[in-house]
Amino acid sequence: MSAAELLTIGAGIGSGAIAAGLGYCCLYHNSQVVAPVISRIESSGSVALTFDDGPTPRFTEPILKLLAKANVQATFFCIGENILANRSLVSDMLSAGHCIGNHTWNHDHTGIFGSKSYWHRQVERTSDLIAELSGSPPRIFRAPMGFKTWQQAAAVRAAHMRYIGWRSWAWDTTNVSPQGIYRRITRRLAPGDIVLLHDGLEYARRQASQAATVAALPEILSSIIDRGWRAVSLGAL
């Protein structure tokens, strides 16, 4: 093999390694490279339930009722467009003591390619609407699909928010049964875990359903309580 061929192979390997490294930095939800990410809470006897993509009435409303029945507070990472269409649900969340986080204005799947100004608009518009309803801007942010970029992180820092990741999740935006969601969440659940579930639908999934999440939630809550743990919101952060 010639020196030129070896150099070509080496360049290809190097490019692949760089691409893999960038992919980890931006696409892994708990990566700390782009920005610090909180993926666990400091608690020996609690877990933090979080719900993304709401509010969407037919799923958020029953989830709020189940949480109230169990006397549990949670955290809802809300999409600005969904808040605008369902302001009263956000008021219900706040009245029940739940925490509201910023999940961008429209959860655009191509947003990862957005500029710094794009991300400032996505973050600020949502935070302003949450502040209008709650009296104060949100202090926590969850990136759509967990994907982070340096442009996005600059907007999040400017809004004085912290990134929130997760440790336990059920892929409940896919075709999974309530039993499957329950097993995936509880199988390796540990104190301090931040749990990711979904109560809403973003634009790309507007015809989907989170009915399986609603059906799985009572057993998930029972499992947490039976272990002697508490389910808490991230408001204390």
Q: How confident is the model at residue 2 (pLDDT cuts 50, 70, 90)?
A: low
> Does 237 fall in a domain?
no
> Does 171 fall in a domain?
yes
pLDDT for 44 equals 84
- The C-alpha atoms of residue 97 and residue 121 are separated, in whole angstroms, by 28
Q: How confident is the model at residue 18 (pLDDT cuts 50, 70, 90)?
A: very low
pLDDT for 185 equals 98
Of 69, 136, 50, 140, give the one whose Cα is nearest residue 104.
Answer: 140
More confident position, 127 or 3: 127
220, 140: one domain: yes
Q: At 172, which CATH number?
A: 3.20.20.370
121, 141: one domain: yes
More confident position, 208 or 13: 208
Total domains, the chain: 2
29, 116: one domain: no
165, 90: one domain: yes
Q: pLDDT of 48-66, one tens digit each?
A: 999 999 999 999 999 999 9
Range of the domain at 21: 1-33
More confident position, 13 or 88: 88
Distances in whole angstroms, Cα of residue 93 to Cα of each of 8, 72, 83, 104, 123: 57, 12, 11, 18, 20
pLDDT for 100 equals 98
More confident position, 44 or 118: 118
138, 181: one domain: yes
Q: pLDDT of 190-200, one tens digit each?
A: 999 999 999 99
93, 194: one domain: yes
185, 143: one domain: yes
